[in-house]
Amino acid sequence: MKPPTQNRANQTLVLALLRSQQRFMRAMGPAFRSANLTASQWDTLETLSNKGPLSVNDLMRLTLSSSGNLDVVVKNLVQAGFIEKAVDEKDRRVRVLCLTSEGHQKVADFMPTHNRTLDEIFSHLNAQQKRETITILNRFRKALD
């Protein structure tokens, strides 16, 4: 059995991670709303912008989405004209998603707002603190894989 202090530290760490994520999403909310996007929609658009066309499964893995959530996000982005879904020429069972010209424009239009919002959110951290936080979170994530 773990010592009570270690249990308490673990529980406190979980709460700190969850509350930080919730507050971060709350701080990003106005920026997403101003662009008529959800966080999941932006994650999908930004991933396709950076990685290029992806299968639905690859996009789900990269965005850490569930299949049910990603289906809704993709449907809404297709309806908005930001992405298109095609059949993979090599494997007709696979669906490939890619940005349309409107999708590329949406990313280009929103990126400055996104970056300004991130600057505001992280303004209280200096460069060294950001690097340390990234290192710790990456170490934690890799330990979970």
CATH topology of domain 4-144: Arc Repressor Mutant, subunit A (1.10.10)
Q: What is the 3-state secondary structure (H, E, C) of 98-134?
A: EECHHHHHHHHHHHHHHHHHHHHHCCCCCHHHHHHHH
* Measured distance CA(128)–CA(61) in Å, rounded: 30
Helix axes 101-121, 4-34, angle to 10 degrees: 130
pLDDT band for 4, please (50, 70, 90 cuts).
confident
* Measured distance CA(60)–CA(21) in Å, rounded: 20
pLDDT band for 88, please (50, 70, 90 cuts).
confident
Domain range summary for the chain, segments of one domain joined by +: 4-144
For the chain, helix (H) and strand (E) counts, in that order, are: 6, 3
Q: Which helix (H) or strand (E) holds 43?
A: helix 39-51
User: pLDDT digit string (tens) for 58-68?
Assistant: 999 999 888 78
pLDDT at 65: 84
* Measured distance CA(103)–CA(8) in Å, rounded: 46
Average pLDDT over the chain reads: 93
User: Does the pLDDT of residue 2 top 70, yes or no?
Assistant: no
User: Does the pLDDT of residue 3 top 80, yes or no?
Assistant: no
